[in-house]
A and B are shown apart, each in its own frame.
Chain A
Amino acid sequence: MADVRAMKTDAEKALAAAYETARARLPGKSAVSALRADAFQQFENQGLPHRRVEEWKYTDLRALMREAYPLAPLPDAAAKAKAKGAGALFAGVGARRLTFIDGAFVSELSDLAPEQGLTIGSLADALAKGDALVTQHVGKTFETDDVAVALNAALMGDGAVIRVAKGAAIKRPIHLVFAPGSDRPSSVFIRSLIVVEEDAQVTIIEDHNGGAAQVNAALELIVCAKADVTYVKATRAQALHVASLLANVGADAKFNTFAFTSDVNVLRNQNFIRFAGEGTKAGIRGVSLLRGKDHADTTLLIEHAKGHCESRELFKSVLDDQGHAVFQGKIVVRPHAQKTDAKMMTRALLLSDDAEADNKPELEIFADDVVCGHGATASAPDEGLTFYLMSRGIPEADAEALLVQAFVGEVIEEIAHDGIRDALMVAALRWLGART
């Protein structure tokens, strides 16, 4: 049988050309070069994911990505000047700020004050130097045949490398500001690695404003036993943003993630999370605010590999105009992962008749003593609630805004850090305030 495969699209050809041109100068020694070559081969074989690939059914990247932009150049002085104002949303958080422009680490715009137990660096440097931590972990945190992850491995340029040493409690959140740089449409491949060792505590904010760039970001996050990690991702993107979280969580850990998405053109946040030790408690949550033709896809693969873990997944989206939210949540409970307690919920609030929400929850359970559940709703604002508020004198638009605020507030309030919670509530209100 002949191997039948669609003709390569312009974007696929451009990505292949980008790899061929850049491979010699992409950072990393032989092992990394081999990793890149394998990953690129996988991309060559599979091409961009499309609607007949089940995991990408609702986000047909092949169709959505008409062209692939050339790799972004290193940031110039103008880009650096512009990036100073980036990340303002979290200005009140009191975080340690690390700045990346088109994915490239900019040390002069970063707070590198030393702190006991904290090591910070750039992935490009680490790869170039053959850094032991990076060599040990990169590409190995969560095995997946996902093509976006493969493409990221083939073309990864820079990103953050953070290590929190055993027992260290990092006081200030670490704010990774990913700012746009080049004026020309470019593509950016970011790979970050964060290792939080036993008993350590840290809060990470990954803050993307992609501008007009096509961004493919991947974060490998290793949470060791008894660590306490909060990971918040806020994303705005005018072009295309595909992000992959690859997380391995050890025993007795606390792991909370929150994804805040607004003002995106095409976004996919895919989360591959494995609970690899017993006794961990996790909250995987997020809010998407979509209008115009915004498309945001949240895809979860939550793997309970070991028993006695509790995970709560809650994602809400607010959809105006022709906004399109996709939620695919899959919880896998491996054999012997007994006493797993997993509850997943997704809710979409539709403010317009033209908005669309696709919810696809899945449970795959191979153990027999577990508590797992999922739920999904999609609805317009409750007329009874709106009437109640209006009957007290609150005009319709304000009543609806109050109800939307309450709807997303329920998730945002789960964030333990006051400053981050307030910043995201402000961002949500700003989005609501801009409704016409």
Chain B
Amino acid sequence: MSFLEIKNLHVEIEGKKILNGLNLSIEKGQVAAIMGPNGSGKSTLAYVLAGKDNYKVAEGDVLLNGERILDMSPDERAAKGVFLAFQYPVEVPGVATMTFLRTALNSQRKARGEGEVSTPEFMKIVRDTAAKLGISQEMLRRAVNVGFSGGEKKRNEILQMAVLQPRLAVLDETDSGLDIDALRIVADGVNALRSKERGMIVITHYQRLLNYIVPDVVHVMAKGKVVKSGGKELALELEAKGYAQFTGEAA
């Protein structure tokens, strides 16, 4: 059995079918890219894995390490190791980034029956990781994402991922809105988290990100399903030919 198994997943939002019998397996240690045209259901898949409300699972199942996660609340899934790096990270006015990170980490540890991390240990983890991602102490003191640029918000997502050390990381269009320098910093942050204990799903519209985060496998989504899978060369082929072959429409 694979680390993550998505079986025949059908999902609706407000009566509209978005995922149409999606099947996908991710192995531990694997970085899987999911590519596809707009509206193919990539972000929906990310949200469904994280447990967002309003997404009705009509059929199918999602197993993480053999355990069904669809009935779990988002925080329970997080404690099991699911992490979603948001395409549009929200601003959380009034909650300092440090408070947020510590509350999140300790909530997860508590849910797993582990003790709280000590303050000096926590500070060290955050400082070291933040430094690598070019996140200043001043940013850490500010409210989560408030007044951050697009690039800073994406870096903050990677910081959270590094601190929380998830087992399954889902990166939803982490490249959107990033210039080339920011893209490199974010990609370096993600690459540093590649591990044989961790599965990663990198959702992207463009091949560009995959020059920096080189995937082990590439899956193409169209109309709510995985329609083709292959190695990293598949991304280059898509870049050359476009998605029209999968959508049945002219590019």
Contacts and interface: CB of A to CB of B under 8 A. Distances in A.
A331 to B, nearest CB: 25
A406 B74 contact: no
A398 B99 CA distance: 12
Interface string B75-110: 101110001101001101111000110011101100
Contacts of A407: 94
A398 B74 contact: no
Contacts of B111: 393, 395
Contact of B104 (A393, A396, A405): A393
B164 interface: yes
A53 interface: no
Contacts of B160: 392
Given A393-B107, A394-B103, A406 B94 contact: yes
Interface residues of A, number: 23
Nearest to A412: B94
Interface stretch (B47-55, B188-196, B234-242): B47-55
Interface string A411-427: 00000000000000000
A394 B107 contact: yes
A390 interface: yes
A387 B74 contact: yes
A330 B108 CA distance: 47
Contact of B89 (A388, A398, A403, A405): A388
Counting chain B CB atoms within 10 Å of each CB, the highest count among A389, A392, A394, A410 belongs to A392
Contacts of A403: 92, 94-95
B75 A395 contact: yes
B92 A388 contact: yes
B93 A410 contact: yes
Given A392-B160, A393-B107, A394-B104, A385 B78 contact: no
Contacts of B94: 403, 405-407, 409-410
Contacts of B217: none
B136 interface: no
B86 A390 contact: no
Interface string B102-137: 011101100100000000000000000000000000
B92 A390 contact: no
B63 interface: no
B90 A392 contact: no
Contacts of A398: 103, 107
A85 interface: no
Interface in A375-407: 382-385, 387-396, 398-399, 402-403, 405-407
A405 B51 CA distance: 25
B29 to A, nearest CB: 23
B143 interface: yes
A133 B160 CA distance: 61
Interface of B: 50-53, 73-75, 77-79, 83-84, 86, 89-90, 92-95, 99-100, 103-105, 107-108, 111, 143, 160, 164
29 contacts: A383-B53, A387-B52, A387-B53, A388-B86, A388-B89, A388-B90, A389-B100, A390-B73, A391-B50, A391-B74, A391-B83, A392-B100, A392-B104, A392-B107, A393-B78, A393-B104, A393-B107, A393-B108, A393-B164, A394-B75, A395-B75, A396-B75, A402-B99, A402-B103, A403-B92, A406-B92, A406-B94, A406-B143, A410-B93
Given A382-B90, A402-B100, A406-B92, 16 more contacts: A387-B50, A388-B89, A388-B90, A389-B92, A392-B108, A393-B78, A393-B79, A393-B104, A393-B105, A393-B108, A393-B164, A394-B107, A395-B73, A396-B75, A398-B107, A410-B93
Considering the complex of A and B, which 10 residue pairs feature the smallest CB-CB distances, nearest first? A406-B94, A393-B78, A393-B108, A392-B104, A390-B74, A390-B75, A393-B107, A406-B95, A391-B74, A394-B107
Interface of A: 382-385, 387-396, 398-399, 402-403, 405-407, 409-410
